[in-house]
Amino acid sequence: MKAAVILLPGLNRDRDMIAALTKISGTAPQTIWQTETSIPSDIDLVVIPGGFSYGDYLRCGAIAARMPVMQAVIERAKAGTRIMGVCNGFQILLEMGLLPGALMRNAHLNFVCKEVELEVTNAGTAFSNRYEKGQVIRCPVAHHDGNYFADGETLARLEGEERVVFRYANGGNPNGSVNDIAGIVNEGGNVLGMMPHPENLIEPAHGGDHGRGIFESALDLALA
Ligand SMILES: NC(=O)CC[C@H](N)C(=O)O
C-alpha cells in the first residue's frame, strides 16, 4: 500500500503523520500540496492530517474543503481508495460531504489536550481490523471543535450500519459528542474520520503504541 499525505497551510500534525506512516510502513508517504488537481494512481491511502488549516476561519475545515486537491480526493473516495482524516482532517472530510454530521465547539467551550480511552466498536473496517471488537485503546486528543453531532435519522443510520468505529469509553467523552462518537466511516467503509490522534501513540517514546493498529489496518500490512 502506498500512502499520501495532503498538505495545507495551517496544518501542524502533518510531520507527525508523515513520521508515523514512515515508521510503520518503512516508506515515506508522498506529500500532495493543496493546489494539486490529481492524486497519483499508485496511491491507495490518502491521509488528511490534523491542525488548523486556514486558521480555522469560517468553520474548522471549511476553507480547506474547497481547495483544488479535494476534488481529486472526492473522486478517489468514490473509486474506493482509502481516505483517512484525523482531527482537522475529520473536520475537512465533513465539510467536503464525504462523511455525514458536523463537529461543533466542545460542549465545555475549552480546548482539550489529553489522553482518552476509545472503544473499538467496529473491528471489521479497513481501519480497525487489527483490534478486537470492544477492545479499549488509549489515544491522545487535542481540539476545540470535536463535539460530533448528527440528526436523529443520520445517527440511526450510522449506528444501524455499524459505521461508528471508535467511541469515547468509560465515561471519558472529552467534548460532548453525541453517542460518545470519536470516529466514523462512510457507507462504503473506505473513508474514516476520527477526532483523536493515533499518530501520536505509535511507539514507546510516545508512552505506548495503541494507535499503531489503525495504520497497520489502513496500510494492510502483513500481520507480524
Ligand atoms: N489538532 C487538530 O487537528 C485541531 C483541530 C481543530 N482545528 C480544532 O481545534 O478543533
Catalytic residue among 87, 143, 210, 216: 87
Domain ranges of the chain: 3-219
Percent with pLDDT over 90 in the chain:
98
**What would the pLDDT profile of 70-81 be if each residue is shown by its tens digit?**
999 999 999 999
Mean confidence (pLDDT) of the chain = 97
In CATH, the number for domain 3-219 is 3.40.50.880
**Span of 28-37, 74-83, 215-224 with lowest mean pLDDT:** 215-224
Please state the rounded mean pLDDT for residues 39-64.
97
57 — phi, psi (to 5°)?
-70, 155
Active site residue 199: yes
**What would the pLDDT profile of 73-105 be if each residue is shown by its tens digit?**
999 999 999 999 999 999 999 999 999 999 999
CB 195 within 8 A of CB 144: no
Q: Which three cell numbers stand for residue 169?
A: 469509553
The pLDDT value given to residue 74:
98
Q: Give me ligand 1 centre to Cα 143, in Å.
A: 4
**What would the pLDDT profile of 168-209 be if each residue is shown by its tens digit?**
999 999 999 999 999 999 999 999 999 999 999 999 999 999
62 — phi, psi (to 5°)?
-65, -40
CB 128 within 8 A of CB 213: yes
Q: Where are the alpha helices (DSSP H) in the chain?
A: 14-25, 68-78, 88-96, 152-160, 212-218
Give the pLDDT band of residue 148 (cuts 50, 70, 90): very high
Q: What is the pTM of this model?
A: 0.97
Residue nearest to atom 9 of ligand 1 (CA): 143
- Atom of ligand 1 minimally distant from the CA of 50: 3
Measuring from each residue's beta carbon to the nearest atom of ligand 1, which residues come in under 6 Å?
Answer: 13, 50-52, 56, 60, 87-88, 142-146
Probe target for ligand 1 pocket from 11, 13, 52, 115, with the most ligand atoms within 8 Å of CB: 52
The pLDDT value given to residue 127:
98
Q: Give me ligand 1 centre to Cα 222, in Å.
A: 32
**Residue 201: HSE in the Cβ half-sphere, 13 Å Cα cutoff:** 20
The pLDDT value given to residue 205:
96
Catalytic residue among 60, 95, 143, 197: 197
Catalytic residue among 95, 199, 210, 216: 199
Give the pLDDT band of residue 224 (cuts 50, 70, 90): low
Percent with pLDDT over 70 in the chain:
99
Residue nearest to atom 7 of ligand 1 (CA): 52
